[in-house]
Amino acid sequence: MMNKEILTQPEQSKRNFLKIILSGGIVALVGSILYPIFAFLKPPKQGEVEVSSVKVGKLKDIEKNSGTIVKFGTKPVLLVRTESGDLRAFSATCTHLDCTVQYRKDFGMIWCACHNGKYDLNGRNVSGPPPRPLNEYKVVVQGDNIFVSKNV
Binding mask 110-139 for other proteins (x = CB under 8 A): ------------------------------
- Helices vs strands, H then E, count in the chain: 1, 10
Strands 136-142 and 125-127: unpaired
Nearer to other proteins, 41 or 49 (CB): 41
**111 touches 120 (CB < 8 A):** no
Binding mask 10-29 for other proteins (x = CB under 8 A): -------------------x
**Cα–Cα distance measured from residue 81 to residue 105, given in angstroms and rounded to the nearest whole number:** 10
Q: Least Å distance between CB 80 and other proteins?
A: 35
Q: Least Å distance between CB 28 and other proteins?
A: 12
Q: Least Å distance between CB 119 and other proteins?
A: 36
Binding mask 32-71 for other proteins (x = CB under 8 A): ----xx-xxxxxx---------------------------
Q: How many residues bind other proteins (CB under 8 A)?
A: 9
Nearer to other proteins, 6 or 41 (CB): 41
Dihedral sign computed on CA atoms, order 105, 111, 113, 117: negative
Q: Least Å distance between CB 97 and other proteins?
A: 24
**126 touches 112 (CB < 8 A):** no
Q: Can you list the positions of beta strands (E) in 16-124?
A: 53-58, 66-72, 75-81, 87-91, 102-104, 109-112, 117-119
DSSP reduced 3-state for 60:
helix
Residues that bind other proteins (CB under 8 A): 29, 36-37, 39-44
